[in-house]
Structure 1
Amino acid sequence: MHDSAVLAWLLFAVHASLQLFFIVRALLRPHREPSSRIAWVLVIGLAPVVGILAYVLFGEVNPGRRHVARLREAFEKLPPAQTIAGPSAEADLPERYVPLFRVGQSVSNYLPVAGNRARLMADSAAAIASMVDDIDAARESVHVLFYIWLADDSGLKIAEALKRAAARGVVCRAMADDLGSRHLIRSSHWADMASAGVRLGRALPVGNLLLRPFKGRIDLRNHRKIVVIDNAITYCGSQNCADAAFAPKARFAPWVDVMARFEGPVVRQNQHLFASTWMAQVEEDLSPLFTPTVSSDVSKAGFVAQVIGSGPSVRYSAMPETFVALMNAARRELVITTPYYVPDEPIQAALRASARRGVATTIVFPRRNDSWIVAAASRSYYQDLLEAGVAIREYAGGLLHAKTLTIDGEVTLIGSANIDRRSFELNAENNILLHDPAFTQALRERQQVFMDAAEPVTLAHVESYGLLRQLWNNSVAMLGPIL
Structure 2
Amino acid sequence: MILVLIHFLFLAAFTVRVLWRDDLAPTSRLAWFIVLMVLPYFGVVAYLLFGEINLGRTIHKRHKEVFAKIHEVGERSLGNCHSNLDDDVEVQYRVPFRAAASVDGFKTTVGNRAELMPDAATARSRLIEDIDSAKTHVHVLYYIWLNDTTGTNVAHALMRAAKRGVKCRAMADGLGSRAMIKSSLWKEMAAAGVKVEVALSFKHLLRTILFSRVDLRNHRKITVIDNRVTYCGSQNCADPEFRVKPKFAPWIDIMARFEGPVVAQNHLLFASDWMLNGQEELLQDLPLDAAPLPGGFAAQVFGDGPTERRGATPQLFSVLMGTAQRELVISTPYFVPDPTVLNALLAAAARGVEVTIVFPKRNDSWIVAAVSRSNYRRMLKTGIKIHEFKGGLLHAKTLTVDGAVTLIGSTNMDVRSFDLNYENDILLRDDQFTKSIRERQQAYIAESEQVTLEDVLAWSPMRRFWNNIVATMSPVL
TM over 0.5: yes
* Cα distance between partner residues in 1 of 2:432 and 2:25: 39
Q: Aligned residue for 1:346?
A: 340
**Number of the residue aligned with 2:52:** 60
Q: 2:78 aligns with which of 78, 85, 91?
A: 85
In 2: Cα distance, 1:253 partner to 1:13 partner: 51
- Identity of paired residues, percent? 52
1:415 paired residue number = 409
Is it true that 1:248 corresponds to 2:244 in the alignment? yes
Long gaps (5+) in structure 2: none
- Which residue type is aligned with residue 283 of structure 2? S
CA distance in 2, matches of 1:343, 1:275: 30
For 1:257 and 1:294, the matched residues in 2 are separated by 29
1:383 aligns with 2:377: yes
Q: 2:219–2:421: 8 Å Cα contact kept in structure 1? A: yes
Q: Distance in 2 between matches of 1:73 and 1:102?
A: 23
Report the Cα offset of residue 478 of structure 1.
0.7
Tell me the equivalent position of 2:119: 123
Summarize the alignment of residues 20-419 of structure 1 with structure 2, pairs less than 5 Å apart.
Answer: 20-80=12-72, 83=75, 84-86=77-79, 87-91=82-86, 92-289=88-285, 294=290, 298=292, 301-419=295-413
Opposite residue 85 of structure 1, the aligned amino acid is: L
Match for residue 444 of structure 2 among 450, 453, 463: 450
**Letter paired with 1:21:** A
Deviations 1:201-228 (A, max 9, x none): 0000013544431242110000000000
Shift in alpha-carbon separation, 1:196–1:12, aligned structure 2, 3 A: same
Decide whether the 8 Å contact of 2:113 with 2:293 is kept in 1. no
Partner deviation per Cα, 1:49-102 (whole Å, 9 max, x = no partner): 222221111111112333323323322443437514332341221111111100
**CA distance, structure 1, for counterparts of residue 329 and residue 122 of structure 2:** 24
Measured after TM superposition, the shift of residue 294 of structure 1 is 4.8
Would the aligned equivalents of 1:244 and 1:256 in 2 still touch at CA under 8 Å? yes
The whole-number CA distance in structure 2 between the counterparts of 1:155 and 1:110 is: 30
- Structure 1 residues 81 and 16: CA distance shift in structure 2, 3 A: farther
Q: Compute the displacement of 1:106 (Å).
A: 1.1
2:467 pairs with one of 449, 473, 476: 473
Aligned mates of 1:264, 1:294 — CA distance in 2: 7
Structure 1 letter corresponding to 2:224 = V
Contact 2:306 2:422 in 1 (8 A): yes
Partner SS, residue 174 of structure 1: strand
Query: TM-score, length-normalised on structure 2?
Result: 0.96
AA partner of residue 364 (structure 2):
D
Match of 1:155, as an amino acid?
A: G
Mean CA deviation greater in 243-252 or 427-436: 243-252
Aligned residue-pair number: 473
Deviation at 1:301, TM superposition (A): 2.9
Shift of 1:264: 0.4
CA distances 1:452-477 after superposition (whole Å, capped 9, x unpaired):
11000011111111111111111111
Cα distance in 1 between the residues matched to 2:123 and 2:289: 30
CA contact (8 A) 1:178 1:203 kept: yes
Which range moves more in the overlay, 11-20 or 200-209? Answer: 11-20
Q: Which residue of 2 aligns with 1:3?
A: none
- Give the whole-Å Cα distance in 2 for the aligned partners of 1:480 and 1:373: 9
Q: Take 2:305 and 2:6, find their aligned partners in 1: how far apart are those partners?
A: 36
Q: Deviations over 1:266-299 (max 9, x none)?
A: 111101110010001113111124566657xx45
TM-score w.r.t. length of structure 1: 0.95
Conserved 8 A contact 2:112-2:258: yes
Secondary structure class of the residue paired with 1:430:
strand
CA distance in structure 1 between the aligned counterparts of 2:166 and 2:293, rounded to whole angstroms: 28
In the alignment, the residues of structure 2 paired with residue 292 and residue 273 of structure 1 have an alpha-carbon distance, to the nearest angstrom, of 12
Q: 2:456 aligns with which of 448, 462, 469?
A: 462
Deviation, 1:129, is: 0.4
Q: Which residue identity is paired with 2:60? A: V
Deviation at 1:38, TM superposition (A): 1.2
- Cα distance in 2 between the residues matched to 1:406 and 1:75: 29
Paired letter, 1:332: R
Question: Are residues 156 and 35 of structure 1, via their aligned partners in 2, closer, same or farther at CA, if it must alter by over 3 Å?
Answer: same
1:285 aligned counterpart, secondary structure: coil
Residues 162-186 of structure 1 show CA distances to partners (whole Å, capped at 9, x for unaligned) of 0000000000000000100001110
Q: Distance in 1 between matches of 2:68 and 2:444?
A: 43
TM-align CA RMSD: 1.6
Distance 1:82 1:354 in 2: 35
What is the rounded CA distance, in whole Å, between the counterparts of 1:398 and 1:85 in structure 2?
Answer: 40
The 1:79/1:458 distance shift into structure 2, 3 A limit, reads closer
Letter in 1 for 2:473: L
Whole-angstrom distance in 2 between the partners of 1:385 and 1:447? 19
Whole-Å separation in 1 of the counterparts to 2:5 and 2:78 = 59
Residue 16 (structure 1) aligns with:
8
